[in-house]
Amino acid sequence: MPTPLAGYAPYKNLPPLAGLCTLEEAAKPGLSVEECVRRLKRFHYCFKRLHQILTARITAEPIYELKTAFAHHAYLCAEHATALRTRIGEMREPPLGLEEVPHPALEAYFDEILASRTTEELLAGVYWYAIQELYSAIEEYSEATNPLTDAPSRRVLRFALLEVGDMSDWGYRATEALVDQEKRKELRGWLNILDELATHAKGLGGTRRDPALQNHEPPRRYSAAPYAYDPIPRRDERFADPWNQGVNAEAFLYDETKPARAKALMMLYKRLREIDVPEMMASIITRTPGKPWGYYRDMSRQLWDEARHAMMGEVGFVALGVDWTKARITFNWSYRLNTECTPDEAHGVLFFIEQGLMPRTGKRYEFEVAQESGIPLMATLQDFDWADEVLHAQIGRSWYVPKFASLKEALDYGDAAWSKVLSNWATVKERGLTQHENWWPAVYAMACAAEGAQPDPAVLAFAESYEGKRADLKTVGEGLSG
Ligand SMILES: [Fe+2]
Ligand SMILES: [Fe+2]
């Protein structure tokens, strides 16, 4: 017998139901609002925890490609958590209970990944387990819910699935490159614990049924003791000489006698050096729990922008035929802020520097120099770098300045905090950590060779270091990072 649906034809053969789905799909009952909310809250929790884990592990992860990818993925997770919070709020749900833990075993599952001991474990835990499981759980939801009644959730999840898929692909390629067969075998014992915890939690989406393991709480391994954030920035071997403060980039950049094309190189150095901003912002975000969610979302956006700024430097150097590892990319700034300042002080320093980038001598100047350099890529990089910094100044006004009675007070606090971190140029030299080698002539000569141009002797001779200077030189008015 034909169903009533089969006999129903849309008017003039138009696509039915606003393009959402077929009549057959919409005519099947789906999940209840209550069940949707229950599962969406789990997805929200997963994104929130992944955001936390990836952020917390940026600073001490030595490999630059992993630092930048964690910055990216943490930001994506923050955005999806934000979208889910909005959607859950639309589903008859006050009080929202978004800060509650959906299941203790789910909490233990993410705690274990957060506390994983090695990069390999972290990658396996995040990308083989959490991201994969989350993908499957979201897919399962999207198939089970009614595409007409729950169209707003499906829309949010469709986008999430796209980016969770991207993260999964990246994770697959990264583990292929870094985790060999031997290490995979070593990981098995700990990954079994994750498996047991996930099963005990009924899967990430809370729908898995496996009666065998539901009744006993699996033991924690790494997270048996509370997690301790590691604030020490680490770099891979390409970042040789990380205490080097031998080339004063700002002194060169603001010297009117220097040519714009050479200044472009110095700006690329400044961009790549910004990898220290994610390292220090991760420290602020990780050490300031209990803030409104918008704070984490905005700060993570800024953290990700700063990782992109570093990659802009990398790309620019490569495009100009320069081996960027010859420019000594220091971690002095993030190291000192993370170990000598409170999170509030570090935030103050960041805000103070970024406000300093707004006047005419800051980001606009850099963009104009980039245009003047005659390198079209430089103009693109600095154009967007400038736009991002305007956004960061706004983020600072939203989350940092309101802690003070006035903007002036907020700036003074940042200024004072920065002065607390006095120049350590002589100390690190005395301790034998660096000789502050002047790497500039080598980098400049490399760029000239790639371009087929003769080095300008006056430019080649540049030899001004950061000796005796606070990082912004005060008189120059430009910041070290940001
Ligand atoms: Fe910035
Ligand atoms: Fe930046």
Q: What is the pLDDT of residue 479?
A: 42
Residue 408 pLDDT more than 80? yes
Residue 215 pLDDT more than 80? no
Q: Closest ligand to 382 CA?
A: 2
Q: What is the pLDDT of residue 475?
A: 40
DSSP string, 88-120: HTTSS-SS--TTS-S-HHHHHHHHHHHT-SSHH
Instruction: Tell me, in angstroms, the distance from the centre of ligand 2 to residue 482's CA.
Output: 4
Q: Which domains does the chain have, with CATH numbers?
A: 29-220 (1.20.1260.10), 249-460 (1.20.910)
- List pLDDT tens digits, range 420-476: 887 888 999 999 999 999 999 999 999 999 999 999 999 999 999 998 776 565 543
Q: What is the pLDDT of residue 472?
A: 60
Instruction: Tell me, in angstroms, the distance from the centre of ligand 2 to residue 481's CA.
Output: 7
Instruction: Tell me, in angstroms, the distance from the centre of ligand 1 to residue 41's CA.
Output: 32
Residue 315 pLDDT more than 70? yes
At residue 209, the 3 state secondary structure works out as coil
Q: Closest ligand to 308 CA?
A: 2
Please, what is the average pLDDT of the chain?
93
- pLDDT band of residue 481 (cuts 50, 70, 90) is low
Residue 407 pLDDT more than 50? yes
DSSP state of 126: I
Q: What is the pLDDT of residue 314?
A: 98
- How large a percentage of the chain has pLDDT more than 90? 87
Q: What is the pLDDT of residue 453?
A: 94
> Roughly what angle, to the nearest 10 degrees, separates helices 33-56 and 64-88?
160
Q: What is the pLDDT of residue 420?
A: 85
Instruction: Tell me, in angstroms, the distance from the centre of ligand 2 to residue 141's CA.
Output: 39
Q: Which residues lie closer than 8 Å to 49 by C-beta, 6 or more apart?
A: 110, 114, 130
Instruction: Tell me, in angstroms, the distance from the centre of ligand 1 to residue 426's CA.
Output: 28
- List pLDDT tens digits, range 243-288: 999 999 999 999 999 999 999 999 999 999 999 999 999 999 999 9
| Mean pLDDT across 207-227 | 83
Instruction: Tell me, in angstroms, the distance from the centre of ligand 1 to residue 393's CA.
Output: 8
Q: What is the pLDDT of residue 94?
A: 75
Instruction: Tell me, in angstroms, the distance from the centre of ligand 2 to residue 282's CA.
Output: 14
> What are 414's two structure tokens?
């940042």
Q: What is the pLDDT of residue 97?
A: 87
Q: What is the pLDDT of residue 468?
A: 74
Residue 13 pLDDT more than 60? yes
Residue 419 pLDDT more than 90? no
For residue 402, whether the previous peptide bond is cis, meaning omega lies within 30 degrees of 0, is no
- pLDDT band of residue 477 (cuts 50, 70, 90) is very low
Instruction: Tell me, in angstroms, the distance from the centre of ligand 2 to residue 183's CA.
Output: 36
Instruction: Tell me, in angstroms, the distance from the centre of ligand 1 to residue 379's CA.
Output: 18
Instruction: Tell me, in angstroms, the distance from the centre of ligand 2 to residue 460's CA.
Output: 27
Q: What is the pLDDT of residue 390?
A: 92
Q: Closest ligand to 392 CA?
A: 1
- List pLDDT tens digits, range 75-97: 999 999 999 999 999 998 777 88
* Greatest alpha-carbon span in the chain: 91
Q: Specify the pTM.
A: 0.95
Instruction: Tell me, in angstroms, the distance from the centre of ligand 1 to residue 129's CA.
Output: 33
- List pLDDT tens digits, range 48-59: 999 999 999 999
- List pLDDT tens digits, range 456-467: 999 999 999 998
Amino acid at the residue 185: K
> What are 40's two structure tokens?
């969406």
Instruction: Tell me, in angstroms, the distance from the centre of ligand 2 to residue 440's CA.
Output: 22
Residue 124 pLDDT more than 90? yes
Helices (H), 151-180: 151-178
Q: Closest ligand to 350 CA?
A: 1
- List pLDDT tens digits, range 131-172: 999 999 999 999 999 999 999 999 999 999 999 999 999 999
Summarize the chain as % helix, strand, coil (round to 5).
65, 0, 35
Q: What is the pLDDT of residue 212?
A: 66
Q: What is the pLDDT of residue 370?
A: 98
Tokens 């699996």 belong to residue: 218
| Contact status, residue 251 vs residue 464, Cβ threshold 8 Å | yes
Q: Closest ligand to 355 CA?
A: 1
Q: What is the pLDDT of residue 422?
A: 79
Instruction: Tell me, in angstroms, the distance from the centre of ligand 2 to residue 387's CA.
Output: 10
Tokens 């917390």 belong to residue: 56
Q: Closest ligand to 311 CA?
A: 2
Instruction: Tell me, in angstroms, the distance from the centre of ligand 2 to residue 8's CA.
Output: 58
At residue 335, the 3 state secondary structure works out as helix
| Mean pLDDT across 381-392 | 96
CA distance 316 to 329: 15
Residue 371 pLDDT more than 70? yes
Residue 289 pLDDT more than 90? yes
> Roughly what angle, to the nearest 10 degrees, separates helices 276-286 and 332-340?
20
| Mean pLDDT across 101-129 | 97
